[in-house]
Amino acid sequence: MGTDNLHHKRKDKELERKRKRKKVLPYILIVCEGARTEPNYFEWYKENCKQEINIDICGEGKNTLSLVREAIAIKKKIEKEKQIIFDQVWCVFDRDSFEISTYNQAFELAHKNNIKVAYSNECFEVWYLLHFQYFDNEMPRGLVFNKLDNLMKKEYGIAYKKNTHNICELLLGKQLTAIKNAKKLESKCSNIGIVHHQNPSTSVYKLVEELNNYIK
């Protein structure tokens, strides 16, 4: 009898130690500028991560500053409704053709509110293109789209479309190459200093690396 009690106590203590060692997964909110491109990419993580990732899709046309403000409002709303606290909040946006002052204000507001930014200059497709090749020459988004479209057709036999739902899974085998290329590009761009002048550049890899920690 006494031996059984001792056994159960030891077992309970071991379970308690395991609970303490168990990693607590964060609650992450991702607010995207686009209604198709970025959400389609991150939906894969929502389906394959160990923990729910809330992805709010903001309509196209919102500028970078409005998106950060929207993220702040969404965070407060969801936290109140679900009685949770987000460990991380990310804004995903492009350089686009918005005013430089607006772009800089977006970064400042995000920093003040502990919001992380995954930006691309000048479009999210820069991140996709880095899966196939490294490049550091400035190019308009139209050229980025054309290059990506040609590479997608050559590699997978399909044309690139913004509403391609399985794009993340499709490019998964090349993701390490994209991360390596993005870091190399970031290192080169760091000499430029001002973010809105860093074309091409993308920090999407930072969000991707974070999400990769929680894949099933």
Task: Report the pLDDT value the prediction gives residue 60, as an integer from 0 to 100.
Answer: 47
Give yes or no for residue 16 having a pLDDT over 70: no
Q: With contact defined as beta carbons under 8 Å apart, do 201 and 120 qualify? A: yes
What is the model's pTM?
A: 0.82
Distance CA 27, CA 34 (A): 22
Tens digit of pLDDT for each residue in 30-86? 999 888 889 889 989 888 887 666 666 665 457 788 899 999 999 999 999 988 889
Distance CA 183, CA 28 (A): 23
Task: Report the pLDDT value the prediction gives residue 58, as an integer from 0 to 100.
Answer: 62
Give yes or no for residue 12 having a pLDDT over 50: no
Task: Report the pLDDT value the prediction gives residue 15, as an integer from 0 to 100.
Answer: 41
Q: With contact defined as beta carbons under 8 Å apart, do 182 and 171 qualify? A: no
Distance CA 91, CA 115 (A): 7
Length, in residues, of the chain: 216
Q: Mean pLDDT throughout 10-26?
A: 51
Domains in the chain with CATH codes: 25-212 (3.40.50)
- CA-based end-to-end distance of the chain: 42
Give the torsion through C-alpha atoms of 112, 116, 118, 119, to 10 deg: 10
Beta-strand relationship, 116-121 and 53-57: unpaired
Tens digit of pLDDT for each residue in 80-111? 998 888 999 999 998 765 667 778 899 999 99
Distance between alpha carbon 193 and the CA centroid of its chain, in Å?
Answer: 22
